[in-house]
Amino acid sequence: MQTDNQGATFSPEEYARYSRHIIIPEFGLTAQSALKNARVLVIGSGGLGSPSLLYLAAAGVGHIGIVDFDTVDDSNLQRQVLFTTEDIGKSKAKQAQQRLRALNPYIEVTVHETRLDPSNARELIRQYDIVADGTDNFPTRYLVNDACVLEGKVNVYASIFQFEGQVSVFNFLLPDGTRGPNYRDIFPEPPPPGLVPNCSEGGVLGVLPGIIGSMQALEVIKVITGIGEPLAGKLFLFDAASFHTRFLKIRKNEALKIESLINYQQFCGLDLPETPVTEMSVVEWEELRTSGRPYQLIDVREPYEYAIAQIGGELIPVGQITSFLPFIARDKPVIIYCRSGVRSARAIRELQALEPFDNLYNLKGGILAYGKEIDASIPQY
């Protein structure tokens, strides 16, 4: 065993493992020691978390924390390279921990199998030096940002959608002791609910999380080691379809003050009371379908989803549903469906806000439920 001037102790096996780092003149043993001494919290072990975690573990980050309460689904495997088919149904955080320990036995990996919320965010983040945010929803992004600001932690942010990715370093500690811009400096307000779909609704090119997640890991390593120039005060944008890249400069809003955590569901407009909609189970609809009685079936998904799997009906994407108001039947049941029942419920509320329909039914569980309960040949996507 040998100890460097940063207080990190390396075994001969570790020297061999990290030798390609150590022999870089600008990196060397000092930077490798900084990695070994670092504590990094990765929030989300999915599309972005998978490559980030793999490269941070391989690089030798001494203590990695994983926050994830989800389980592995077969639809994850197109992009979440931490997992295999044998992991389906199992805890993402625990399977990720097992994979990382197998990759690098010289690091510690701690699992926080919980949903991050205002009651635990600051306590969790406080235990680590730097946070890598790999979440896919706006309430959690704002929560992570605000908790990092309040706890004085750097937030390495990344996001993905379809062919596009973003990376930045928020709340970076500047040489003069002040902090750089944070997420709210470029996105002070969330978009209206439903305007920006998540990956399960809008899709994502499978290789994109690998590219952006690797960039996120790179920025974490740069912040820890002091090597290079982190993306502080800049938002990096990447378009995988065209391979175009650009940078947006972020200016700090000195008037913006974050003093406490808030209700982020409410802030993002997601906990407003919703008018209940009448539902019809897939079993009930199957009985109606085979009975010969008249009905109207409307699919409010996107055309690319219809091409993957469909159970019939007229395709009217949810964003266009109100434009087709004259075509919605009034004299027979109208069953509206989507992938899981969320967008179809929204479509019904929008229609009922315009006219007092009493014949609209949300297909409970959507096409996923139909595939599981009625027709197993329907693809689960």
Q: Which residues are catalytic?
A: 199, 338
Q: How far apart are CA 148 and CA 156, in angstroms?
A: 10
Per the structure block, which two tokens stand in for 119?
């009651």
Strand partners, 168: 157
Q: How far apart are CA 15 and CA 20, in angstroms?
A: 9
Neighbours of 306 (CB within 10 A): 14
Q: How far apart are CA 110 and CA 96, in angstroms?
A: 10
Give the residue among 115, 53, 43, 113 at the shortest CA–CA distance from 82.
53
Per the structure block, which two tokens stand in for 285?
């609809």
Q: How far apart are CA 244 and CA 271, in angstroms?
A: 37
Per the structure block, which two tokens stand in for 152?
């004085």
Strands 234-239, 164-170: pairing is antiparallel
Q: How far apart are CA 164 and CA 187, in angstroms?
A: 17
